[in-house]
Structure 1
Amino acid sequence: MVQHPDLTDGLPEGLLARPLTLDDAQAVTDVMAAEEMAVLGEVVIEYADIVGDWQRPSFDITASTIGVFAGDALVGYAERSGHTRGDAAVHPDHQGRGIGTWLAGWLQETARAAGDDVIGMPKPEGSPGDRLLESLGFRVRWNSWVLQLPEGAAIPSRPLPPGYAVRTATPDEHEAVWTVVEDAFLEWSVRPRQTFEDFAASVFRRPGFEPWNLRVATDPEGAVVGVSIVVLASGCAYVDKLAVRRDQRKQGLATALLADSFAISREHGATRSELSTDSRTGALGLYAGVGMQVTSNWVNRAIDV
């Protein structure tokens, strides 16, 4: 088991730290939401995001998380969420006290103990968190962008090739969905292959999941060749994953999946449509080409451990 570094050394007087439990998921959501509102002017994190990630079978909450408390109130947190991946947040009312620096040190110690050689996390470009990580020696690993389809706009979709279809996935296609998504994302993401069980925990078992959230493109034989995973939250349709099998690209399937995802989300009450992409994928031009506009810029900073 990963051993935590000292849980009080270096923290401001009166603050305590401990590993988190699933019961702390709402408190973590609240801290992240406060930080996002201060930086972005809106909240994008959801309680379901935290639960979906933490309920993965491979994720050891005790070994992989830490919370900093002022009395009973969580004021900062960090997690090693996966191979070389982390996240952290400090409530705006408690920033500037050294909590973020302490959490960054905890992340590096925990990543090193887990066998990683690097650890990194995303932050809005130019935000207090981004500036802190830069001052601590974290380098930019890649850039990412959140894009939004203007309200009332629709993505123009060209006709599907003969015999192809876009529809809701069936339960017996879940493993095929996992295969298409993992194959596509591992073309550019340097990490171990995610197990089906972990994928299922954060997708099909995510709190609030409904069958229509999972869109697939099928070929004339009925095989799943494209996937869109859409999350509806606070009136926003967010495409969390979009993937097309390598041998099926350049036929308009990604655009068709996007158009379908946003259209069906509007039927379920969505008033805006968003997704994110990063500089590793080369997909920014695709989304800009269908009328989506960048609303925020993020950087993933990392440091060798």
Structure 2
Amino acid sequence: MPRPELPAGYVARPATLADVPEIWRLVAACEDGHPASDPDTVAANLARPGMDLALDTVLVHDGAGDLVARAWVNRRSEVDVHPDHRGRGLGGALLTWTEARAREAGGRNLVQVASDTDGAAVGLLRAHGFEPFATNWLLEIAMPTEPEVPEPPAGVTVRAFRSGDGPAVHRLLEDAFDEWQERRRSYDEWARLTVERATFAPELSPVAFAGDEPVGVALALDVPGSADGYIERLAVRRDHRGLGIARLLLRHTFRDFHRRGRRTCTLWTHTNTGALSLYQRVGMTVRLSSTVYGLDL
């Protein structure tokens, strides 16, 4: 697979795991209010099943040797261009490369996400034939005073995540997300994106039990330097929905972040979860939104 055709003054090469810190700094410079990126997320994406770093990744450096853009493709794709290097054709070159690589690998579609405030990125995607099909929302709640936690439903208990809970919580989340996610993740892949992240906060991650069985969970990240608490995953088992368990878990996490000095808590949700109204009922509002675009190959 050839490298992308870049504007003069830029060079491309594949990524390696040694590049994770530099990639993370680039991603952080490109973020639009997302409070939860960290090097663990970058490393986990580079270790996605089936990812061939030599074929499926591109890093772009300028003449000074600084990393200014990157892309990867593996069923879905991500393209980031440093704000100081936008408008020079790098985004279009990398987008063209991701499409070519996806076709070469036999993909049937390609997915990209763009902030709704980034008109240039949206225009580029639409010019390449991408169509919108889902919306992501970053929700927030202000917590000037300590949130109250309701009593659990009859027969339900709540405690913080403990070592050894991982496999059962993994099954619960994958079962819950089967309704809309592209595929089930293995435990190892899931863990890299959740409970093995350096920012995972087990003491802020409540698990709801009915007897000995977990029936709900909220996994929290405590990101150094962030003013926000962040909830990475929230799910309730299908046969225990409608009992107020999701609200209970959210309020537990809100309260515990407040006790750590955080006065705002955030989380991402999207169209397919159908959970926006739930979060709005507990007092969360939309901070920003992005759109998921798809290209039929």
Say yes or no: TM over 0.5: yes
Aligned residues of 1:232 and 1:270 also touching (Cα < 8 A):
no
1:222 to 187, 209, 212: 212
Aligned residues of 1:214 and 1:229 also touching (Cα < 8 A):
yes
Are 1:202 and 2:198 an aligned pair?
no
1:112 CA displacement: 2.1
Q: Relative to structure 2, which stretch is displaced further, 290-299 or 166-175?
A: 166-175
Provide the residue aligned with 1:86 in structure 2. Answer: 77
Aligned residues of 1:218 and 1:225 also touching (Cα < 8 A):
yes
Are 1:231 and 2:226 an aligned pair?
no
Aligned residues of 1:166 and 1:215 also touching (Cα < 8 A):
yes
Distance in 1 separating the partners of 2:23 and 2:180: 30
CA-to-partner distance for each residue in 1:8-50, whole Å, 9 max, x for gaps?
Answer: 5x210121111111222222222222223xxx46765333321
Q: Relative to structure 2, which stretch is displaced further, 45-54 or 120-129?
A: 45-54
Distance in 1 separating the partners of 2:106 and 2:137: 30
Distance in 2 separating the partners of 1:61 and 1:28: 14
Q: Relative to structure 2, which stretch is displaced further, 270-279 or 27-36?
A: 27-36
Are 1:142 and 2:138 an aligned pair?
no
The Cα RMSD (Å) is 2.1
Distance in 2 separating the partners of 1:105 and 1:257: 43
Provide the residue aligned with 2:173 in structure 1. Answer: 181
* SS at 2:6 equivalent: coil
The residue identity in structure 2 corresponding to 1:79 is: W
Provide the residue aligned with 1:250 in structure 2. Answer: 242
* SS at 1:192 equivalent: coil
Distance in 2 separating the partners of 1:160 and 1:293: 24
Provide the residue aligned with 2:24 in structure 1. Answer: 29
Query: What does residue range 1-305 of structure 1 map to in structure 2 within 5 Å?
Result: 4=1, 6-8=2-4, 10-36=5-31, 40=32, 45-55=37-47, 59-71=51-63, 72-80=65-73, 82-83=74-75, 85-127=76-118, 128-152=120-144, 157-189=149-181, 191-219=182-210, 221-233=211-223, 234-305=226-297
Gaps of 5+ in 2: none
CA-to-partner distance for each residue in 1:39-78, whole Å, 9 max, x for gaps?
Answer: x467653333213433456544333321111132111111
Q: 1:61 to 1:152 in 2, by over 3 A?
A: farther
1:278 CA displacement: 0.8
Q: Relative to structure 2, which stretch is displaced further, 245-254 or 256-265?
A: 256-265
Q: 1:42 to 1:304 in 2, by over 3 A?
A: closer
CA-to-partner distance for each residue in 1:263-293, whole Å, 9 max, x for gaps?
Answer: 2223334332001111111111111111101
1:155 CA displacement: 5.5
Aligned residues of 1:33 and 1:44 also touching (Cα < 8 A):
no
What TM-score does the superposition give when structure 1 sets the normalisation length?
0.89
Distance in 2 separating the partners of 1:44 and 1:173: 22
Aligned residues of 1:52 and 1:207 also touching (Cα < 8 A):
no
Q: 1:23 to 1:273 in 2, by over 3 A?
A: same
Aligned residues of 1:34 and 1:91 also touching (Cα < 8 A):
yes
Distance in 2 separating the partners of 1:257 and 1:111: 39
1:115 CA displacement: 2.8
Q: 1:241 to 1:184 in 2, by over 3 A?
A: same
1:199 CA displacement: 0.7
Aligned residues of 1:16 and 1:68 also touching (Cα < 8 A):
yes
Q: 1:265 to 1:101 in 2, by over 3 A?
A: same
CA-to-partner distance for each residue in 1:130-166, whole Å, 9 max, x for gaps?
Answer: 2221222211020111110024156565421123112
The residue identity in structure 1 corresponding to 2:80 is: A
Identity %: 32
What TM-score does the superposition give when structure 2 sets the normalisation length?
0.91
Aligned residues of 2:146 and 2:259 also touching (Cα < 8 A):
no
Aligned residues of 1:155 and 1:290 also touching (Cα < 8 A):
no
Aligned residues of 1:53 and 1:201 also touching (Cα < 8 A):
no
The residue identity in structure 1 corresponding to 2:56 is: S
Distance in 2 separating the partners of 1:205 and 1:31: 22
